[in-house]
Amino acid sequence: MKSLMVILLSAMLTDNFVLSKFMGICPFLGVSKKLDSATGMGIAVTFVMMCATLVTYPIHHGILVPNDLEYFDTVVFILVIALFVQLVETMLKKCIPSLYKSLGVYLPLITTNCAVLGVTVLNIDNSYSFGESMINALGGGLGFMLALVIFSGVRRKLEYADIPETFKGVPSTLIAASIVSVSFMGFSGLFS
């Protein structure tokens, strides 16, 4: 039980996918303008991460390992992730069209979000058990959402700030992102 808590919290804080491992930067910068779309994106990514882990773990250990096909991990994992992203997209289009619209191109881009592929591959690399993998995926997704929500708050402040012309837009956003990332370095060593 204790080890599961450690995995969950370290995936969220010390090894935060966005702010410590620099995975999934593109939606982090693209969708963090507004709080509600940031939360929506976080939930969508968490859902895809959990589902992908749920399916890729049995595929890896049940089908690929017995047949000595570990080198197929990436191909099959991407296929599974694409499947779930498409599923989320059709569901959102039907149920929450406004969120579907505000996420725009970033929703199909979850497919190529390296954070999602990263979770599934890291689960295998760290030789986690099934339960640990699911917790790791949950922590990764929540950590992603946490980063997006925190950063959407920062960006709202940025919008009202009087920034020199040269730094307006992308430069100030990237600088703010690096400062948020530095603040997450404070968590390092929490579980060692």
Q: Which residues bind another protein (CB under 8 A)?
A: 59, 63-64, 67, 69, 72, 75-76, 79-80, 82-83, 86-87, 90-91, 93-95, 97
- Phi/psi of residue 7, each to 5°? -60, -45
Least distance (Å) between residue 168 CB and another protein: 15
Least distance (Å) between residue 164 CB and another protein: 14
Residue type, 16: N
Query: With respect to another protein, which residue has the nearer C-beta, 59 or 163?
Result: 59
Least distance (Å) between residue 111 CB and another protein: 12
Angle subtended by helix axes 73-95 and 114-125, to nearest 10: 140
Least distance (Å) between residue 148 CB and another protein: 24
- 116 and 48 Cβ atoms separated by less than 8 Å: yes
Query: With respect to another protein, which residue has the nearer C-beta, 14 or 113?
Result: 113
- Phi/psi of residue 126, each to 5°? -80, 5
Whether the CA torsion 55, 58, 62, 67 is positive or negative: it is positive
- 126 and 11 Cβ atoms separated by less than 8 Å: no
Least distance (Å) between residue 42 CB and another protein: 22
Least distance (Å) between residue 171 CB and another protein: 18
HSE, CB side, 13 Å, CA atoms: give it for residue 163: 17
Which tokens is 138 given? 């949950």
Angle subtended by helix axes 35-58 and 130-160, to nearest 10: 160
